[in-house]
Amino acid sequence: MRMVEVNNAGGRFDGSDFLWPVRVYYEDTDAAGIVYHSNYLKFAERARTELIRALGNDHHALRRQFGIAFVVSKCDMHCRLPARLDDLVEVRTAKNGLGAATLDLQQNIWRDDEEIVRLRVLLACIDDTGRAVRIPADVRRRLADWEQEPSRKP
């Protein structure tokens, strides 16, 4: 397997997947020490943010250079097993598709060799007014160049 480190924060590409490690802290859990469901969305958001950065743009640069932002348009989450306090989990992000104004992602959260959460996320590209707009050519090229592995589709 090919692993490529992309920044000093721990994110890396493994083939077509972008992997982002997350440690579960006390603040992420409920009274039983189990990750509260909405925090999985936060973990996935951090992984997507670092993916965009690894592909050559951070969110500030997208706003400054192109006047765009990516927002979640649709999200489907299936919590299969709980993560607990002190677990080290990994968000694995794969591209399902790239539309004119959308990016379709599969984000799975793993603990060791167990898939614990499965998310399907559709991102929309919007302008400063909140309207959907086409993804700019330079950004589209970087997203298109990101390898796609069809076997990752759910």
Q: Has 87 been annotated as catalytic? A: no
- d(C-alpha 29, C-alpha 154), whole Å: 28
Structure tokens at 72: 């979640």
Q: What are phi and psi of 20, to 5 degrees?
A: -135, 115
Classify residue 133 by burial, with Cβ atoms within 10 Å: 0-12, 13-18, 19+: middle
Structure tokens at 85: 């306090």
* Catalytic one of 17, 28, 30, 138: 30
Q: Which residues, at least 6 apart from 98, have a Cβ–Cβ distance to it below 8 Å?
A: 104, 135, 140, 143, 144
Structure tokens at 95: 């591209």
* Catalytic residue annotation: 30
